């Protein structure tokens, strides 16, 4: 009952998922890989006993030995591969984004809805983090009353050279958007973006930091500080304010050290360190579900909503105005 997984795209994140499946998790093996760079695919396959190399994603998806697929290729290719998986009736784990345009996401919703069952899980790994799960449980238990606000801060020490300005919304804040939807269990209906004074550590072409302000369907407010060159570490903060209490992420340091006039705890270096367990759980849960023929986790609808909200935030950033978010009606399948 081992799940045979094919991996499309074996760059950094694809290789990390392969490592996870082969060295960390239970119940899966990687039987096929492909990549836009076939040499890279060959190099990765060489490390895996008996993994086949495919010329392209379509061939990999069509391989009868492949039970389920991980899509970790370049964003603009996601739509094609996810649609092919749906057509083939194979469970697919698609790294964010589900697709890069609203229209592409909608085509996926249509295809999956037509297929009549969920086949797609989107890689919003924060939903598998101990902290956010405990926040959601706290809200669900009614410990803080109905949620009214969510304050989120997304702080990166630095960003790589290829990082461009839209990525602060599409790649960085998309996680805050998804986790806000998850925690508050409602849709985002409007976005505003304010540009604070620039961080002089940021590259000239980047607008950093940003302050995003969202409204949800039930009137709650979500504010997101995005600071992508804050130097000191990868610092993810979150607090939900309810009618009679609040719940916030605790610091994650395992030890406190006293020396030189103070006590101190470590802040993670990057997202790998901060969310390592969330990534592990996310993929294990997908493997378990796919093996059992079930769907789980963030759906195509979640991927679609995140893309549309980010589009609206980018429009708000450009116009300086409040921009409404319009989602199509949610299909029965995702309720």
Q: Footprint of its own copies on residues 195-254 (CB under 8 A)? A: 196-201, 209, 211, 213, 215, 218-221, 223, 225, 227, 229-233, 235, 241, 243-251, 253-254
Q: How far is CA 149 from the centre of its chain?
A: 22
Nearest to its own copies of 87, 134 (CB atom): 134
269 binds its own copies (CB under 8 A): yes
The nearest distance, CB 256 to its own copies, in angstroms, is 5
Backbone angles phi, psi at 214, to 5 degrees: -115, 155
Nearest to its own copies of 97, 147 (CB atom): 147
259 binds its own copies (CB under 8 A): yes
How far, in Å, CA of 98 to CA of 104, rounded?
Answer: 9
Nearest to its own copies of 177, 249 (CB atom): 249
Coil vs helix vs strand at 149: strand
How far, in Å, CA of 49 to CA of 289, rounded?
Answer: 25
264 binds its own copies (CB under 8 A): yes
Provide the token pair at 165. Answer: 């300005």
Provide the token pair at 148. Answer: 């009214």
Closest CA to 309 of 78, 146, 124, 54: 124
The nearest distance, CB 6 to its own copies, in angstroms, is 18
Give the position of tokens 């008996």: 50
1 binds its own copies (CB under 8 A): yes
How far, in Å, CA of 233 to CA of 109, rounded?
Answer: 37
Among residues 88, 267, 315, 327, which is the contact residue for its own copies, using CB under 8 A?
Answer: 267
How far, in Å, CA of 292 to CA of 314, rounded?
Answer: 39
Residues 100-159 close enough to bind its own copies by CB under 8 A: 130-131, 133-135, 138, 143-146, 148-149, 151, 153
Residues 56-95 close enough to bind its own copies by CB under 8 A: none
Q: How many other C-beta atoms lie within 10 A of the C-beta of residue 153?
A: 19
Residues 3-22 close enough to bind its own copies by CB under 8 A: 21-22
Residues 27-56 close enough to bind its own copies by CB under 8 A: 27, 49
Classify 48 in phi/psi space as left (phi over 0), alpha (psi -120 to 50) or beta.
Answer: beta
Give the position of tokens 């790994």: 125
Residues in contact with its own copies, counted by CB under 8 A, come to a total of: 76
Among residues 38, 87, 140, 256, which is the contact residue for its own copies, using CB under 8 A?
Answer: 256
Nearest to its own copies of 73, 138 (CB atom): 138
């Amino acid at each position: 009952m081992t799940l045979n997984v094919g991996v499309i795209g074996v760059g950094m994140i694809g290789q990390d998922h392969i490592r996870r499946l082969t060295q960390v998790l239970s119940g899966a093996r990687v039987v096929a890989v492909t990549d836009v760079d076939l040499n890279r695919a060959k190099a990765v396959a060489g490390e895996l006993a008996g993994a086949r190399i495919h010329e392209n994603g379509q061939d990999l998806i069509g391989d009868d030995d492949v039970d389920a697929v991980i899509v970790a290729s370049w964003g603009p290719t996601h739509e094609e591969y996810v649609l092919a998986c749906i057509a083939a009736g194979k469970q697919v784990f698609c790294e964010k984004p589900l697709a890069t345009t609203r229209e592409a996401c909608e085509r996926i919703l249509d295809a999956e809805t037509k297929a009549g069952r969920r086949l797609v899980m989107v890689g919003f790994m924060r939903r598998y983090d101990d902290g956010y799960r405990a926040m959601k449980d706290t809200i669900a238990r009614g410990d803080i009353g109905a949620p009214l606000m969510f304050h989120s801060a997304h702080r990166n020490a630095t960003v790589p050279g290829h990082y461009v300005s839209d990525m602060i919304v599409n790649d960085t804040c998309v996680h805050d958007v998804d986790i806000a939807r998850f925690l508050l269990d409602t849709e985002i209906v409007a976005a505003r973006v304010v540009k604070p004074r620039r961080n002089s550590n940021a590259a000239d072409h980047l607008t950093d930091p940003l302050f995003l302000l969202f409204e949800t369907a039930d009137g709650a407010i979500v504010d997101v500080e995005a600071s992508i060159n804050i130097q000191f570490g990868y610092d993810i903060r979150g607090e939900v304010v309810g009618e009679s209490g609040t719940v916030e992420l605790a610091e994650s340091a395992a030890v406190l050290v006293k020396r030189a006039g103070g006590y101190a705890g470590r802040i993670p270096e990057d997202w790998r360190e901060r969310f390592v367990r969330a990534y592990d759980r996310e993929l294990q849960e997908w493997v378990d579900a796919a093996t059992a023929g079930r769907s789980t986790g963030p759906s195509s609808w979640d991927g679609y909503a995140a893309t549309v909200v980010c589009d609206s935030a980018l429009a708000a950033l450009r116009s300086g105005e409040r921009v409404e978010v319009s989602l199509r009606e949610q299909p029965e399948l995702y309720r």
